[in-house]
């Protein structure tokens, strides 16, 4: 294990804002904070060997509960257990610098209903409207959707009820402009958000992670939580028909920076005994073999080429381990992969992809230069777009847009791509708004292999074909699509539904202020230069998983709870084995980890007595 810098403890327990003020350099504040946060776990955590055996009845155990996974769901569950003074061991295959898992890399969006932020933006929302949107989006249609449906109803009630206040008590704050993701474009009972509900956490993913990581580390200082980094679970053990612990490999120490692929070389074995085990190990997005193995038949053949939106440790290995222990996996073929992926020009993990978060104005063309059908516009229907792309015979599509559009409508997903929001710096946010094209987007325009910038359309199409390596695009076809679209701009009304949607979006104050460019012609030289972006399919979320009841208890094939086994987060399909159904409304993944992790922690604490 590399020597820890002596200055790290000086930042232990500080907030991100406090670290920023002390460091002075805002660009360094986030890595300093995260390093302090994660390394502190190894500094102050009480070793399991120092704990006296816990005796419940006739059995002695190492802890009350073992949690597999030190991501957001696992940390939330651990915090709930620690509040009831239960002893917890958190087992994690990565090193301590990866504390928090995927949540660190996220944009930090959270789905809230009828929030103060919505009301200030003149958005009228309600539980009934949100539930109707959720159910129309999920499209539950299977016998095994019984528990996912109940989880969906409970989660929407949470989002419309105590969620915001509960998170605010723990220090979370939100950017005042609410985002409008997955707009749908279908009928009122179909897929999509009727109103904006995407609340960006001030501090992005690290801002969501911070309060739970701090509480877990404080509990570790009290001797209530012990972290076991570089421990990979390969078995959930059972005795007398009940789960009684975990066993697996001790991996060699790793100094790999957060997100980078680490070694899987084993140097020993371990076993831990507890009254209960909570599986909070994440999904399968980093394992393309599993993605292809479980690819939904309704989408045809899986893509030959995909890029990866999550680190390599999101490998799905614990799902098979849980299944071997008696848990039932359901909805394996339900996934959430994005279609606006671009290769990261500065990759951290293998095939590192970044998702573009587009406004509605870019022209979306398939690999042959044909416009995507209604309502497959940017930001409207992720799964519908993926389904259409799989019918084209190609794995990529194109955005064609202008400088004016990219300046106002392009954002990139991820904490590291939004340093202003991640550092909670209003000064940087204001500077970003004034500067036009955001700095991270500019970097992709200059260095990203998927971005092409040209003044003239023939040059743009020529380079698009050169990037693919074959002349798939015909200039006349592309030009016809663009000119037909541009003619629809001449009047304040139009038959083109994308133009109608763009104008409709600007009726929402938040979109008009920071998200949607004024409608203009793509071939207007004043709006140029022209920009083309090759879009790739990006693997991300697992929507199915371990079937659980509302207490996050893992259920077996007979529908009965597996004694002592719980599941939370993405491993449980964010609750029930797939509370999203076939589609997601966005901002629901972190929230699902929090909600299901809280339920698992509370239920396991109650069961432990």
pLDDT score at 9: 41
Picking from 57-61, 66-70, 113-117, 565-569, which range would have the lowest pLDDT averaged per residue? 57-61
Q: Give me the numbers of helices (H) and strands (E) for the chain, helices first please.
A: 20, 22
pLDDT tens digit string along 154-174? 999 999 999 999 999 999 999
pLDDT tens digit string along 454-481? 999 999 999 999 999 999 999 999 999 9
Per the CB < 8 A criterion, the answer to whether 502 and 404 are in contact is: no
What is d(CA 64, CA 86) in angstroms, rounded to the nearest whole number? 6
pLDDT at 10 over 60: no
pLDDT at 317 over 70: yes
Cis ω for the linkage preceding 539 (within 30 of 0): no
pLDDT score at 50: 59
Rounded to two decimals, the pTM is 0.92
Instruction: State the DSSP H helix or E strand holding residue 497, giving kind and residue range, or none if neither.
Output: helix 497-505
pLDDT at 34 over 70: no
Tokens of 46: 């009480």
pLDDT at 40 over 70: no
Tokens of 511: 């979109």
Per the listing, tokens 């005994």 go with 273
pLDDT at 12 over 60: no
The neighbouring-strand residues paired with 354 are 342
pLDDT score at 456: 98
Q: For residue 433, what pLDDT band results from cuts at 50, 70 and 90?
A: confident
Question: Residues 332-346: what's their mean pLDDT?
Answer: 97
Question: Residues 407-414: what's their mean pLDDT?
Answer: 95
Residue whose C-alpha is closest to residue 541's, from 510, 496, 573 = 573
pLDDT tens digit string along 293-307? 999 999 999 999 999
445-452 contacts at long range (C-beta below 8 A, 24 or more positions apart) = 445/406, 445/531, 447/345, 447/346, 448/342, 448/343, 448/344, 448/345, 449/343, 449/345, 450/342, 450/343, 450/533, 450/534, 450/535, 450/536, 451/342, 451/531, 451/532, 451/533, 452/531, 452/532, 452/533, 452/534
pLDDT at 58 over 70: no
User: In this structure, is the dihedral angle defined by the CA atoms of residues 197, 202, 205 and 211, taken in order, positive or negative?
Assistant: negative
pLDDT at 44 over 60: no
Picking from 18-22, 365-369, 459-463, which range would have the lowest pLDDT averaged per residue? 18-22
* Three-state SS at 281: coil
Q: For residue 28, what pLDDT band results from cuts at 50, 70 and 90?
A: low
What is d(CA 606, CA 341) in angstroms, rounded to the nearest whole number? 43
């Amino acid at each position: 294990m590399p020597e820890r810098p002596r200055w790290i403890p000086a930042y232990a327990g500080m907030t991100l804002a406090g670290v920023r003020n002390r460091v002075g350099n805002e660009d360094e504040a986030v890595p300093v904070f995260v390093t302090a946060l994660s390394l502190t776990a190894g500094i102050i955590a009480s070793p399991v060997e120092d704990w006296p055996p816990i005796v419940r009845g006739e059995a002695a155990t190492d802890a009350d509960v073992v949690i597999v996974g030190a991501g957001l769901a696992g940390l939330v569950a651990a915090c709930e257990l620690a509040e009831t003074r239960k002893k917890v061991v958190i087992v994690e295959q990565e090193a301590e610098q990866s504390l928090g898992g995927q949540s660190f890399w996220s944009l930090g969006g959270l789905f809230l209903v009828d929030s103060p932020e919505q009301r200030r933006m003149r958005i009228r929302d309600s539980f009934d409207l949100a539930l109707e949107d959720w159910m129309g989006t999920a499209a539950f249609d299977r016998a095994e959707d019984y528990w996912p449906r109940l989880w969906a109803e409970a989660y929407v009630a949470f989002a419309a009820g105590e969620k915001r206040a509960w998170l605010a008590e723990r220090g979370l704050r939100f950017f005042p402009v609410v985002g409008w993701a997955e707009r749908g474009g279908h009928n009122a009972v179909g897929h999509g958000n009727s109103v904006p509900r995407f609340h960006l956490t001030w501090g992005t993913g690290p801002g969501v992670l911070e309060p739970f990581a701090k509480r877990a580390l404080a509990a570790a200082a009290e001797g209530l939580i012990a972290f076991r980094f570089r421990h990979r679970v390969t078995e959930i053990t059972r005795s007398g028909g009940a789960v009684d612990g975990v066993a697996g490999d001790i991996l060699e120490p790793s100094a790999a920076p957060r997100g980078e692929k680490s070694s899987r070389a084993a140097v020993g074995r371990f076993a831990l005994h507890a009254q209960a085990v909570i599986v909070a190990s994440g999904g399968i997005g980093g394992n393309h073999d599993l993605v292809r193995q479980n690819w939904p038949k309704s989408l045809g053949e899986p893509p030959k080429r995909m890029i990866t939106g999550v680190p390599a440790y999101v490998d799905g290995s614990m799902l098979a381990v849980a299944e071997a222990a008696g848990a039932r996996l359901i909805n394996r073929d339900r996934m959430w992969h994005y279609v606006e992926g671009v290769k990261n020009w500065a990759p951290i993990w293998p095939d590192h992809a970044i998702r573009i978060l587009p406004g509605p104005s870019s022209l979306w063309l398939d690999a042959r230069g044909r416009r995507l059908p209604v309502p497959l516009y940017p930001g409207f229907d992720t799964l519908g777009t993926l389904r259409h792309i799989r019918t084209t015979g190609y794995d990529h599509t194109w955005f064609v847009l202008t400088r004016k559009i990219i300046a106002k409508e392009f954002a990139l997903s991820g904490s590291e791509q939004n340093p202003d929001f991640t550092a909670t710096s209003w000064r940087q946010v204001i500077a970003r708004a004034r500067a036009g094209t955001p700095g991270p987007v500019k970097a992709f325009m200059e260095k990203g292999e998927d971005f092409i910038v040209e003044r003239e359309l023939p040059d743009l199409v020529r380079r698009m074909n050169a990037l693919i390596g074959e002349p798939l695009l015909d200039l006349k076809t592309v030009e016809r699509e663009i000119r037909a679209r541009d003619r629809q701009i001449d009047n304040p009304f139009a038959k083109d539904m994308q133009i109608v949607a763009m104008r409709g979006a600007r009726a929402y104050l938040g979109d008009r202020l920071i998200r949607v460019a004024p409608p203009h012609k793509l071939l207007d030289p004043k709006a140029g230069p022209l920009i083309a972006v090759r879009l790739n399919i990006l693997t991300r979320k697992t929507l199915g998983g371990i079937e659980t009841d509302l207490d996050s208890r893992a259920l077996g094939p007979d529908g009965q709870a597996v004694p002592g086994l719980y599941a939370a987060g993405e491993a449980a399909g964010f609750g029930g084995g797939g509370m999203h159904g076939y589609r997601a409304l966005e901002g629901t993944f972190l929230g699902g980890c929090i909600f299901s992790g809280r339920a698992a922690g509370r239920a396991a604490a109650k069961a432990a007595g």
